Amino acid sequence: MKRSIIVVVCAAALLFGIVFGLHAYQQHQIHKRLAAAADPKVVVSDTTVKTIRHAAETSAVGQIVAVQGASISSAVGGVVETVDFRSGMQVTKGQVLLTLNAGSLPGQVDQAEAKAHLAAINAKRQHGLFGVNATSQANDDTATYTLQSDIAAVKALKLALAQYTIRAPFSGVVGLRTLDPGAYVHPGDTITNLENLDHLYVDFSIPQRNVSLIHIGAPVTVTIHQADRLVHFTAHVTAFDSHVSKASRAMSVRARIAAGAALSPGMFTMVSIQSQSPKPIVAIPMVAVSFNTFGDFVYVVAKKDGALVATEQPISVGTEFDGQVEVLSGVKPGMRIVTAGQIKLHSGDGVTINNAVSLETKS
């Protein structure tokens, strides 16, 4: 009987021990999960701050212009008789582009030439008579100046007639043809555009603080988008304005682009001017910087009590270039900074580094 009681008591004690042990283990696991949820480690990517050599640049928006370019128009009005060019045609200086109906002007020229011819004969006759004292000095002078007046009238009429023939003022490529015979052209109407594409310029403006960077022959880099890529061209400053604009406090600059550039007048470009020789700077990726109205900062990763912790670090930034930014103060070469995952971070959070995958960056 006693032995049975002892066995029952031992079994009950063992059962209660197991129950209390399971309960204690469950409570421990719950507390562990709650602690982990209260202070989770954030997965981020990082990089090491480095020193690089960089030449600071000044950027501006420019526009491509031709070495010679003009909108061809007529000084007189009239009906188009002939159009002597095709769209996109290469023309030479003096080549006829278009003729207008000159009305009665050709007849007036013929009449004036006949009158001048008669005046020449009369002047010659009067001069011969005056040589033998058969006429007066007054008659000889009148005949001479009448001839000069008639010759001048012929020149004026020929110049007026020439305005009805539109010629290329220089060699180049014409634009689109928009006129046909029979159309009426008003004075000042654009007939076509003419551009000399042998050489091109880029015009741009720079702030007055950067005027000292500009000198004749200074190299500039011209960048444009072509399809889905950036294309760079080299140019050199050929001229700049003699004053700074009162409205914008900027100076206009013109640079000549190297021959052979596949550019067209009117294109907008980015222009970069090297402002100094390359020098060592501390640079970090732009994505690492959290820009804030109260000050810019990065998250610096360092070990604390054997674990990696991200700490907010205020910084002062300088110029931006190629997806990077110069750091003037706040971090030093060799420090590790967070480059992705900042949106989930608070200063002092534990972090896990994973540079093998593309992580979500801050928006």
Q: What pLDDT, on a 0 to 100 scale, did the predictor assign at position 76? A: 93
195 burial via Cβ count (<10 Å: 0-12, 13-18, 19+): buried
In CATH, the architecture of 102-163 is: Orthogonal Bundle (1.10)
In CATH, the architecture of 58-65+195-274 is: Beta Barrel (2.40)
Domain residue spans in the chain? Answer: 1-38, 42-53+279-353, 58-65+195-274, 102-163
Q: What pLDDT, on a 0 to 100 scale, did the predictor assign at position 363? A: 40
Q: Give per-residue burial for 55-67: e unless 16+ CB within 10 Å, then b.
A: ebbbbbebebbbb
- Model confidence at 361, in pLDDT bands (50, 70, 90)? very low
- Model confidence at 351, in pLDDT bands (50, 70, 90)? confident
Q: What pLDDT, on a 0 to 100 scale, did the predictor assign at position 182? A: 93
Give the lowest-confidence range in 64-68, 274-278, 321-325. Answer: 274-278
Q: Which of 13-17, 107-111, 214-218 has the highest mean pLDDT?
A: 107-111
Q: What pLDDT digit, counting tens, does each position of 132-191 carry? A: 888 888 888 898 999 999 999 999 999 999 999 999 999 999 999 989 999 999 999 999
Q: What pLDDT, on a 0 to 100 scale, did the predictor assign at position 277? A: 66
How many angstroms separate the CA atoms of 355 and 339, rounded? 10
Q: What pLDDT, on a 0 to 100 scale, did the predictor assign at position 98? A: 95
Cβ-proximal residues to 56 (8 Å cutoff; 6+ apart), any chain: 274, 275, 276, 319
What φ, ψ does residue 168 adopt, rounded to 5°? -70, 125
Q: Which of 5-19, 36-50, 161-175 has the highest mean pLDDT?
A: 161-175
Average pLDDT over residues 100-107: 93
In CATH, the architecture of 42-53+279-353 is: Beta Barrel (2.40)
Q: What pLDDT digit, counting tens, does each position of 181-218 carry? A: 999 999 999 999 998 888 899 999 988 887 877 788 88
Contact present, 123 and 147 (Cβ < 8 Å): yes
Average pLDDT, the chain: 85
